[in-house]
Structure 1
Amino acid sequence: MGAAITRAQIVEVADRLFYEQGFEATSFADIAAAVRLSRGNFYYHFRTKDDLLGAVIALRLANTEAMLDGWEGATPDPVERIRSFVRILIMNRARIMLYGCPVGTLCDELSKLRHVAKDDAAKLFMLFRRWLSLQFAALGREADADALALHALMRSQGIATLATAFQDEGFIQREVEDLLAWVEAQRPHQDRPTSETRPQP
């Protein structure tokens, strides 16, 4: 197995374990055992846990950018693109109920630890914020696009947090449907489907 492949496997396993167990609670030994590497071979690729954390954050950023690019190219309708963001909560509901939002939990933990990488982790939220703001602007809501983006982020994080606390899949479904309706209501009146009956908030 090549060094690049081994390194990528280490980062992928660390990404999963940091999410499921937390950054602080996950040791090098945990990761080395999951990848089936000796400690010596492990240290060849990463000398410190902080180096590995940086690689995990870089992987998450790259994966998030690829996901956003995929949504961007999937449809010309900005509302449908925003709906793709909301539907993550349904697609990942089982893991969210177990472990929370992978972005929110990492940012929260690193902030509590006052870790130097907390600002790098927050770049994941900034990616979503900028992307959502662009979608609302494309919808004709340039003046309040960033506020709408933050509102969508806030609601999605609230749903994820309470889903973890209450372990209630029905709650996720209801709240996601309500959030999707809110997104649809942001269309300019002339662009709404004729069946649209919800009032503009």
Structure 2
Amino acid sequence: MSASETRRQIADVADRLFYEHGFEATSFADIARDVGLSRGNFYYHFKTKDEILDAVIARRVSNTRAMLDAWEQAASSPAERIRSFIHILIANRTKIMAHGCPVGTLCNELAKLDHAAKNDAILLFTLFRDWLARQFAALGREADADGLALHILMRSQGVATLFTAFRDEDFIRREVADMEAWLQAQCPAASLLHSRQSA
């Protein structure tokens, strides 16, 4: 395995462990064990846990951009793209129930630690915020596009937090349906067009 492949594998494993156990609770030994590297070989690739965190955040940013690009390509209308964002709660419900939202949990932990990388992690939320704002602007809501983007982002975070606490599948499905109804109320003309196309 090449050095770049090993670094990528370390970042993949660290990403999972940071999500499942938290950044602070995950040790070098935990990551090295799950990757299957000796400590000496591990230090060849990453000297500090902060270097690994940087790689994890970069990996998440790259994956988020790829997901947003895929939603752009897959959906023909901005409203349908926003629905893709809303439905991520359903698609990821098993992971969310077990460990919370991967973006929210990382940002919250780094903020509590006052970690130097906390602003880098916030870029993950900013990607969603800017992308959602562009979708609302494309629906004719340019004046309040950013406010609408923050509202749906805030709502999804609240749903994820409560779902993690209560582990109620009916709750998350009701909330997703309610967010879809809210979206339709914001953009009735676009939603009507979607209904006709789906019929």
Common fold, TM-score beyond 0.5? Answer: yes
* Alignment partner, residue 193 of structure 1: 192
Structure 2: unaligned runs, 5 residues or longer: none
TM-score under structure 1 length normalisation: 0.94
Cα distance between partner residues in 2 of 1:76 and 1:94? 28
* Deviation (angstroms), 1:76: 2.2
Q: Counterparts in 2 of 1:106-125, with a 5 A limit?
A: 106-125=106-125
* Alignment partner, residue 199 of structure 1: none
Query: Comparing 1-10 with 25-34, which one deviates more in the overlay?
Result: 1-10
TM-score under structure 2 length normalisation: 0.95
Residue identity opposite 2:148 in structure 1: L
* Alignment partner, residue 165 of structure 1: 165
* Deviation (angstroms), 1:38: 0.2
* Percentage of matched positions with identical amino acids: 68
RMSD, aligned CA? 1.3
Q: Counterparts in 2 of 1:50-199, with a 5 A limit?
A: 50-187=50-187, 189-193=188-192
1:3–1:194 CA distance, 2 compared to 1 (3 A): closer
Residue identity opposite 2:147 in structure 1: A
Query: Between Structure 1 and Structure 2, how many residues are aligned?
Result: 195
Cα distance between partner residues in 2 of 1:12 and 1:138? 35
* Alignment partner, residue 11 of structure 1: 11
Cα distance between partner residues in 2 of 1:145 and 1:119? 23
The structure carrying a bigger helix percent of its residues is 2
1:186–1:39 CA distance, 2 compared to 1 (3 A): same
1:190–1:89 CA distance, 2 compared to 1 (3 A): closer
Residue aligned with 1:193, SS: helix
Residue identity opposite 1:67 in structure 2: M
Cα distance between partner residues in 2 of 1:124 and 1:194? 31
* Deviation (angstroms), 1:186: 1.6
Cα distance between partner residues in 2 of 1:96 and 1:54? 23
Residue identity opposite 1:112 in structure 2: K
- The answer on whether the counterparts of 2:79 and 2:190 sit within 8 Å (CA) in structure 1 is no
* Deviation (angstroms), 1:194: 7.6
Structure 1: unaligned runs, 5 residues or longer: 197-201
Cα distance between partner residues in 1 of 2:184 and 2:156? 15
Cα distance between partner residues in 2 of 1:191 and 1:60? 31
Show structure 1 runs of 4+ deviating over 2 A.
189-192
* Alignment partner, residue 35 of structure 2: 35
